[in-house]
Amino acid sequence: MPGRRLAGTVMVETKKLMRALAGEVQAVPPVWLMRQAGRYLPEYKATRARAGDFLSLCYTPELAAEVTLQPIRRYGFDAAILFADILLVPQALGADLWFVTGEGPRLSTVTSRADFDALKPADAIHETLAPVYETVRILTRELPDETALIGFAGAPWTVATYMTAGRGTPDQAPAHALREGEPAVFDALMARLTEATIDYLSMQIEAGAEVVKLFDSWAGSLKGEAFARYALEPAKTIIGAVKAKHPEIPVIAFPREAGERYVGFAKATGADCVALDNSVSAEWAAENVQVDGCVQGNLDPRHMVTGGQPLIDETKRIKAAFSKGPHIFNLGHGITPEADPENVHAMLEAIRG
Ligand code: 1CP
């Protein structure tokens, strides 16, 4: 069992998530869910109503900590993920950000040199993001001893897709247009986001995050050389810089829908774990990705809505496929507002017995 040496004694790592990230193969894998705090839970909706709106919830540490803890109390997941959003970083860099109910995020856009020049420097983000660090500090005190705390940020490419379009897009066309049409502006934006992400994750770690995750939700629209330049290279830079300051902190990378480009991603970037979406089969990923170390995933989130025997069968199949290497059970993407909270119990029963 991996342990840390402290003043001549060996501290045995008891958190299942940390053990998987250190490479340990466990008969029952640790489990948590992307978006485990969210609108499928009545207690989340109640706290969000108290906060007034989504951004107030993110920036009120007591309430953000409360919604982080809710799924831990209800399900006893092996990890809690800080409640915040990847779009707080653009806001901290000076972009306007608001959420349209039923539609999603809206931002002021960066599509020219003048827009880029109006952004704040990376080290200015902490003024806006200080409440997030306070949420982390509250969580370090309130989480159960066996629950690991995950901090996170959006990867530069994914955050840049929202900053160039001003909203979520199905094909990330505005970001592709800017990177092709104004490469100097786009590269400057990527560099600013890379620097801000390093600072942001480092501050979360200093506040008490034990693991950090980099969400590159739109990595799938980058192919070939563009994937290397805008997904792999920034991840490598961020992971290298975070580990230079905090070598003991494991990093989970999620280049969603990378497909065959998942192969070798952990080795190339220094990530301790690669999170897999559900477009790749667990059997393929065990053979081609898990050979390099820990993987996370990859149940289709639709099973959380539909439930029944297919949910049980799929959960058991994925657990079995990844049983020969280190594995963190999770979905292939976030749990949706239509999910039935009872289906989460059924999934846990299928994993833990
Ligand atoms: O109505 C509400 O209450 C808001 C819904 C919501 C929630 C619960 C948003 C808006 N963000 C969040 C929290 C959140 N977002 C967390 C922490 C909670 C947890 O995981 O339990 C995390 C890690 C995120 C990360 C995030 N935000 C990503 C990356 C992961 C992914 O899902 O791909 C992305 C792309 C966002 C942007 C975003 N924020 C919110 C929405 C609806 C979106 C997606 C917009 C789109 O579809 O393009």
**How much is the average pLDDT of 8-23?**
86
Grade residue 9 by pLDDT with cuts at 50, 70 and 90: low
pLDDT over threshold 80, residue 8? no
pLDDT over threshold 90, residue 11? no
Active site residue 141: no
Closest CA to 84 of 142, 135, 149, 126: 135
pLDDT over threshold 70, residue 2? no
Grade residue 7 by pLDDT with cuts at 50, 70 and 90: low
Which residue has its alpha carbon closest to ligand 1 atom 9? 85
pLDDT of residue 13: 85
Which residue has its alpha carbon closest to ligand 1 atom 32? 334
Write out the CATH class of domain 4-352: alpha beta
**How much is the average pLDDT of 71-95?**
98
pLDDT over threshold 90, residue 307? yes
Look over the chain and give the mean of its residue pLDDT values, rounded to a whole number.
96
Whether 136 contacts 207, CB under 8 Å: yes
Would you state the structure tokens that stand for residue 52, as one six-digit string?
Answer: 């007034």
pLDDT of residue 3: 45
Over the stretch 199-245, which tens digit does the pLDDT of each residue have? 999 999 999 999 999 999 999 999 999 999 999 999 999 999 999 99
Grade residue 193 by pLDDT with cuts at 50, 70 and 90: very high
Whether 144 contacts 134, CB under 8 Å: no
Over the stretch 249-264, which tens digit does the pLDDT of each residue have? 999 999 999 999 999 9
Least confident of 10-14, 171-175, 217-221, 292-296: 10-14
> Does ligand 1 lie within 6 Å of residue 152's CB atom?
yes
pLDDT over threshold 70, residue 1? no
pLDDT over threshold 50, residue 315? yes
Whether 255 contacts 235, CB under 8 Å: yes
> Does ligand 1 lie within 6 Å of residue 39's CB atom?
yes
Whether 235 contacts 253, CB under 8 Å: yes
Whole-model pTM?
Answer: 0.96
Judged by DSSP in three states, 116 sits in helix
Q: Looking at ligand 1, which atom is closest to the CA of residue 83? A: 17
pLDDT of residue 349: 98
Beta partners for 211? 150
Residue 131: CA atoms inside 13 Å, Cβ hemisphere, count?
18
Active site residue 137: no
> Does ligand 1 lie within 6 Å of residue 45's CB atom?
no
Whether 203 contacts 130, CB under 8 Å: no
